Structure 1
Amino acid sequence: MSGRGYDTGEPMWKAVHAPLVGNIEPSQDVRMPQRFTDKYDALKTVFGHADFRLGQADVIDDILAGSNVLAVMPTGAGKSLCYQVPALLLDGPTIVISPLVALMDNQVAALRANGVAVSCIHSGQDRSRNIEEWRRVASGESHLLYLSPERLMTERMLAAMAKLRPPLFVVDEAHCVSKWGPAFRPEYADLSRLKSLFPDSRIAAFTATADAGTRADIAQQLFNAKGSVIVQGFDRPNLSLTVIPKVNRSSQLLEFMKDRAGESGIVYALSRKSAEEYAALLSREGFTALPYHAGMSAEARFDNQERFIAEDGVVMVATIAFGMGIDKPDIRFVYHVNLPSSPEAYYQEIGRAGRDGQPADTVLLYGLDDIRMRRQFITQEDTDREHQLREHKRLDALLGYCEASTCRRQVLMAYFGEMTSPCGACDICDNPPERIDATDAAIALMHAVEQTGERFGANHVIAVVRGADTDKIRQFGHDRLPSHGTGERWGDGFFKSLVRQAIATGYLNVDMQRYGRLTLTPQSLSLMNGDGAFLITEPKAAKTTKRKRKAAPELLDDADQELLAKLKGLRRDMARDMGKPAYIIFSDATLIDMAQKRPLDRDQMLSVSGVGETKFERFGAAFLAAIN
Structure 2
Amino acid sequence: MALQKETTPTHIHTLLKQHFGYDTFRPNQQAIIENVLKGKDTLAIMPTGGGKSLCFQLPSLAMEGTTIVISPLIALMKDQVDALKSNGIAAAYFNSSQPQEEQSLILEQLIANQLKLIYVAPESLWGLTNHLSKIQINLVAIDEAHCISSWGHDFRPAYTQLSRLKAEFLGTPIIALTATADKATQDDITKQLGISHATRYISSFDRPNIYLDVRPGQQRIQQIFKFLGSRGKQSGIIYCLSRKSTDMLASKLKEKGYDAKAYHAGLDAEERSKVQEDFINDRVPIIVATIAFGMGIDKSNVRWVIHYNMPKNIEGYYQEIGRGGRDGLKSHALMFYSFADVVMLRKFAAGTPTEEFQLAKLERMQQFAEALSCRRKALLNYFGEYITEDCGNCDICKRPPKYFDGTLIAQKVCSAVARLKEQEALGTVIDVLRGAQNQQVLEKGYQNIKTYGAAKDISWKDLQQYVIQLLNQGVLEIWFHEKGRLLLTPFAKQILFEGKTVRLANVIQETVEAEKPKRLPTRGKDLFEKLRTVRAKVAKEMGVPAYVVFSDASLQDMEDKMPSTVQEFSEVSGVGRAKLEKYADIFLQVIAKHKDKKTSKVATHERSFQLFEKGMSISDIAIKRGIMENSVYGHLQKIHELGTKVDLKQFISDAEISEVQKAKSDLNNPDGLKTYFEHFEEKMPYYKIKLGLYLIKL
Superposition TM-score, scaled by structure 1 size: 0.76
Of residues 392, 410, 413 in structure 1, which corresponds to 2:377? 410
Distance change >3 Å, CA 226–CA 40, structure 1 → 2: same
Tell me which amino acid in the other structure corresponds to 2:381. A
Q: Is the Cα contact below 8 Å between 2:328 and 2:553 reproduced in 1?
A: no
| Structure 1 counterpart SS, 2:134 | helix
The residue number in structure 1 matching 2:76 is: 103
| Structure 2 counterpart SS, 1:242 | strand
Tell me which amino acid in the other structure corresponds to 2:347. Q
Separation (CA, whole Å) in 2 of partners of 1:313 and 1:127: 32
Corresponding pairs, count: 507
Separation (CA, whole Å) in 1 of partners of 2:179 and 2:305: 17
Distance change >3 Å, CA 416–CA 161, structure 1 → 2: same
Q: Alpha-carbon deviation of 1:532?
A: 4.5
| Structure 2 counterpart SS, 1:167 | strand
Q: Alpha-carbon deviation of 1:242?
A: 1.8
Separation (CA, whole Å) in 2 of partners of 1:295 and 1:396: 29
User: Deviations for 1:505-541, whole angstroms, at most 9, x for unmatched residues?
Assistant: 64999xxxxxxxxxx9969x99999934222554567
User: Deviations for 1:255-305, whole angstroms, at most 9, x for unmatched residues?
Assistant: 333333322211100111111110111111111111111111222222222
Separation (CA, whole Å) in 2 of partners of 1:123 and 1:601: 45
| Structure 2 counterpart SS, 1:417 | coil
The residue number in structure 2 matching 1:321 is: 292
Separation (CA, whole Å) in 1 of partners of 2:439 and 2:165: 45
Q: Is the Cα contact below 8 Å between 1:263 and 1:313 reproduced in 2?
A: no
Q: Is the Cα contact below 8 Å between 2:143 and 2:178 reproduced in 1?
A: yes
Q: Is the Cα contact below 8 Å between 1:593 and 1:608 reproduced in 2?
A: yes
The residue number in structure 2 matching 1:66 is: 39
Of residues 531, 537, 557 in structure 1, which corresponds to 2:456? 531
Separation (CA, whole Å) in 1 of partners of 2:46 and 2:247: 33
Tell me which amino acid in the other structure corresponds to 1:140. N
| Structure 1 counterpart SS, 2:137 | coil
Between the two proteins, what is the percent identity of the paired residues? Answer: 41
Tell me which amino acid in the other structure corresponds to 1:422. D
Separation (CA, whole Å) in 2 of partners of 1:261 and 1:590: 21
User: Deviations for 1:283-328, whole angstroms, at most 9, x for unmatched residues?
Assistant: 1111111111111122222222222222277111100110112222
Distance change >3 Å, CA 395–CA 253, structure 1 → 2: same
The residue number in structure 2 matching 1:570 is: 534
Of residues 371, 374, 394 in structure 2, which corresponds to 1:426? 394
| Structure 1 counterpart SS, 2:214 | strand
Superposition TM-score, scaled by structure 2 size: 0.68
The residue number in structure 2 matching 1:594 is: 558
Distance change >3 Å, CA 214–CA 198, structure 1 → 2: same
User: Deviations for 1:363-420, whole angstroms, at most 9, x for unmatched residues?
Assistant: 2112222111211111243x2xxx3222221111111111112211111111100112
Separation (CA, whole Å) in 2 of partners of 1:50 and 1:435: 44
The residue number in structure 2 matching 1:94 is: 67
Tell me which amino acid in the other structure corresponds to 1:50. D
Separation (CA, whole Å) in 1 of partners of 2:350 and 2:429: 18
The residue number in structure 1 matching 2:359 is: 392
Separation (CA, whole Å) in 2 of partners of 1:574 and 1:35: 35
| Structure 1 counterpart SS, 2:280 | helix
Tell me which amino acid in the other structure corresponds to 2:393. A
Tell me which amino acid in the other structure corresponds to 2:327. D
The residue number in structure 1 matching 2:579 is: 615
| Structure 1 counterpart SS, 2:310 | coil
Please give the root-mean-square deviation of Cα atoms over the aligned residues, in Å. Answer: 2.8
Separation (CA, whole Å) in 2 of partners of 1:270 and 1:295: 13
Distance change >3 Å, CA 300–CA 313, structure 1 → 2: closer
Residue 361 of structure 1 pairs with residue 329 of structure 2: no
Of residues 258, 262, 266 in structure 2, which corresponds to 1:291? 262
The residue number in structure 2 matching 1:280 is: 251
Q: Is the Cα contact below 8 Å between 1:329 and 1:588 reproduced in 2?
A: yes
Separation (CA, whole Å) in 1 of partners of 2:24 and 2:580: 19
The residue number in structure 2 matching 1:205 is: 176
Distance change >3 Å, CA 225–CA 331, structure 1 → 2: same
Separation (CA, whole Å) in 2 of partners of 1:522 and 1:247: 38
User: Deviations for 1:83-131, whole angstroms, at most 9, x for unmatched residues?
Assistant: 1101111111100000001000111011111111112111332111011
Q: Is the Cα contact below 8 Å between 1:46 and 1:115 reproduced in 2?
A: yes
Tell me which amino acid in the other structure corresponds to 2:168. L
| Structure 1 counterpart SS, 2:53 | helix
Separation (CA, whole Å) in 1 of partners of 2:282 and 2:5: 36
The residue number in structure 2 matching 1:134 is: 107
Q: Alpha-carbon deviation of 1:613?
A: 1.6
- The more displaced of 561-570 and 63-72 is 561-570
| Structure 1 counterpart SS, 2:297 | coil
The 5 A counterparts of 1:199-278 are 199-278=170-249
The residue number in structure 1 matching 2:549 is: 585
Residue 305 of structure 1 pairs with residue 261 of structure 2: no
Q: Is the Cα contact below 8 Å between 1:176 and 1:185 reproduced in 2?
A: yes
The residue number in structure 2 matching 1:182 is: 153
The 5 A counterparts of 1:48-67 are 48-67=21-40
> Which gives a bigger RCO, structure 1 or 2 (Cα 8 Å, sep 6+)?
1
The residue number in structure 2 matching 1:445 is: none
Q: Is the Cα contact below 8 Å between 1:506 and 1:521 reproduced in 2?
A: no
Q: Alpha-carbon deviation of 1:159?
A: 3.2
Separation (CA, whole Å) in 1 of partners of 2:282 and 2:455: 60
Separation (CA, whole Å) in 1 of partners of 2:372 and 2:278: 40
Separation (CA, whole Å) in 1 of partners of 2:571 and 2:227: 41
Separation (CA, whole Å) in 2 of partners of 1:311 and 1:279: 17
Separation (CA, whole Å) in 1 of partners of 2:198 and 2:453: 51
Residue 547 of structure 1 pairs with residue 515 of structure 2: yes
| Structure 2 counterpart SS, 1:79 | coil
Q: Alpha-carbon deviation of 1:563?
A: 2.5
User: Deviations for 1:162-218, whole angstroms, at most 9, x for unmatched residues?
Assistant: 232411000001111112112111111111110122121110111111111111211
Q: Alpha-carbon deviation of 1:434?
A: 4.7
Separation (CA, whole Å) in 2 of partners of 1:36 and 1:608: 26
The residue number in structure 1 matching 2:123 is: 150
| Structure 2 counterpart SS, 1:364 | strand
Q: Alpha-carbon deviation of 1:160?
A: 2.8
Separation (CA, whole Å) in 1 of partners of 2:324 and 2:54: 20
Q: Which runs of 5+ in 1 are unaligned?
A: 1-33, 437-503, 510-519
Q: Is the Cα contact below 8 Å between 2:303 and 2:331 reproduced in 1?
A: yes
